[in-house]
Structure formats: C-alpha cells, structure tokens
Amino acid sequence: MVVGVHRPTQLVIDRAALRHNIHAEVERLDEGCELFMVVKANGYGHGAIQVAQAAKDAGATGFCVAILDEALELRAAGFNEPILVLGVTSPADAPLMAAERISTTVAATDWLSDAQAYLALAEPTAEPLHVHLGLDTGMGRIGFRTVDELATAIDFLGQHKSTLDFEGIFTHFSTADSPDDHYFKQQVAKWHTLTDNLPHRPRYVHVSNSATSLWHAACNDNMVRFGVSGYGLNPSGTAIEVPYALQPALSLTSELVFTKKIAAGDSVGYGATYTADQAEWVGTVPIGYADGYERRLQGFHVLVDGQACEIIGRVCMDQLMVRLPHDYSRGTTVTLVGQDHGAEITLQDVADYCGTIHYEIACGFTGRLPRRYLN
C-alpha cells in the first residue's frame, strides 16, 4: 500500500512511552522471569520493528508474533532474540522455522509427525525446531485439551529430540482482564490438571498475557507475553485500575485542508445525514475509513486548538468534516487521538464510541498512514 507522506495525516509513536511501559513491567517480575514483547499485527499498529527495538532496550528478552511472516520480518531486521509464533503454522514450514531459529506453537500431535517428516527430508539445521505446546484450558481456540493428548505429544517429542526441541508450554486466559475471576480460576485449575505431572519442565512455561501479569502475577511462572499494556493501554478498558501509570504511545494527527461557512439548511456528507440548523463553519480533514478511521465515528469529535469539534456527516473513505467554532486557517492541527492544549482523546474514547475495544482501533490503522517516531 502507498504511504501517504504527501498528506498531513500521521500516526505519531512515542518510543519513550513504549520503553516506560515495558521497563515498568520488567521491574515488577520475579527474578528469573522473562518478558517477551508481543509485536504481532505490526506491533498493534505501532510498527513491529520500532516496537521490538524499544522493547529490547527496555529489557524484553524475546518476542511473540501471530504468523510466521511476522517472525521472518524481525529476523530480516537483525533481531536474534527468541521469537515465538503464537498461531498455527504449516508443518511444511518446519525446516524454515528451524533454520531461522523461530519457535512454533503446536496444538496437535499429528502436526508434530507431519513436521518431523518434512524435517527428515530437509537439510539438517544447526538447531532443532523449537516447539511450544499450546494448551486449551478454556479459551476454546487452539491447543491440547486432555492429559492423554498432551502425554502423547511429549512422548513424540522425546523420541525425536535431534529435530524437535520441547522448548515451551503455555496457555492463554480469556478473562484475566475481568473483575470477575470465577472463569479465570477454572482455567488455572485446568492448567494445573494438564501440567502438574509433566515428566520435565521445558525452558519456558508461560500463561501470562498483559492482564494476567498485571492482576494475577502469581501465575507468571518464568515468562510473560506482554502485549497491549506495553503500548500504554489498559487491557480491561476501564474495568480494573492498572498497578502503575501507563503512557499511551500512539497519537493520530492531521490538519485542516479546507474551511467554509455554510448556511442554515445546507447538508454535509454522503446521504445528507447532517443538515445545519444555523450558519456555521465547517472544516475538512484528510483522513477516512480507508485509513482505519471508522465510518461509524460520525457524531464523535476531534480536537482543534484544544476544543472538541464534532464530526458532522458520514466519515468518507479519505476525508471527514467537522463543525468549527469559528474559521481557522488552512494547516491548523487536528488531533484525532492524543493531547491538544490540555484536552485529550484516547484510543479508549474512540473505542467506546464505536462500541469496541482499543485493540481493534489501534490494529485497524492502515499502512497508508505514515508512522513518525519520537524519542
């Protein structure tokens, strides 16, 4: 996708905020517990490579991604730390992952046997394929569900140590960000049922995402997968207070590119969904839903000179219109996410208006928006 560098709309990412959030969590961890930064989905829209470097500087010792291509991007950028692919990969890619020292999630024994067949046909690598066994303790997504299934997989790994390394075991909690911990405790109990009698512990034992590490740190074991909180966002939204101050790393800014005064009765935007009931000033901002700024944000607001200015009419693919308190000159800054003259719009505010979560908003910003990095 073309990056809009000749347009005054940009995401601004504060690397100092990233380092603050990640280092604060590293400092809370017990001795011997490592932090892997989750940089999937282009670092939650913040830029995977830049986030990975900030995380490394702040004390992260490894990274988690969702798909193999994201891991390969990190390797190509020169990161030599452990990288775990959290999603299911193809067994045919086992030789590539072994060659690149990329750890993979395994959720079924037949995956192991298929991968072993591919590895047997490939050129030997300096290291075996590093495997993390994923356990489904209640997330219902991927993973081993019974003691017998898990035992079969571990036995298979033990028979093929030269090509398959049992490096890790983990699960994912689905309600760690909820004030109600009933289901969380059920998952913890299932985890213990599956793992308390392991024949041996692998190098990495990990159950904690951001929410678990923040509010259930006793579960951390020896590695945490730190995700959304590293970006300065509360995993629970506003349901639970975080134990230390998070600094949001992302801002979204643009400018007014056109202003005009319309009369009472004039309409604005597709479908003429907004009609002025008096004369008013309208400004046009060059951003739209093709950039990930949702169409459903009609009626929300942006900040101009620290003042909340309502988005009037439907958000277009590439532009939106706002009602101004008075005329402003072309080039006046418009803040869509971030702080402006003491006022602030957070990703949580945007998400609340859209009826979703801040994760979705951050990940939805498209590649057409340039990312500018500070600090």
Which residues participate in catalysis according to the annotation? 40, 270
- In 3D space, the residue among 203, 160, 256, 172 whose CA is nearest the CA of residue 62 turns out to be 203
Q: What is the distance between the alpha carbons of residues 55 and 36, in angstroms, rounded to a whole number?
A: 9
Q: What is the distance between the alpha carbons of residues 144 and 111, in angstroms, rounded to a whole number?
A: 12
Q: Does 296 belong to an annotated binding site?
A: no
- In 3D space, the residue among 28, 142, 38, 24 whose CA is nearest the CA of residue 88 turns out to be 142
Q: What is the 3-state secondary structure (H, E, C) of 211-271?
A: HHHHHCHHHCCCEEEECHHHHCCCCCCCCCCCCCCCCCCEEEEEECCEEEEECCCCEECHH
To 10 degrees, the CA torsion angle through 215, 217, 218, 224? 140
Q: Does 317 belong to an annotated binding site?
A: yes
Q: Is the dihedral of CA 243, 84, 16, 358 positive or negative?
A: negative
Contact 326, 316 (CB under 8 A): no
Q: What is the distance between the alpha carbons of residues 28 and 33, in angstroms, rounded to a whole number?
A: 10
Place of tokens 């989750």: 38
DSSP SS3 for 114 = helix
State the binding site. Answer: 141, 317
State the binding site for substrate. Answer: 141, 317
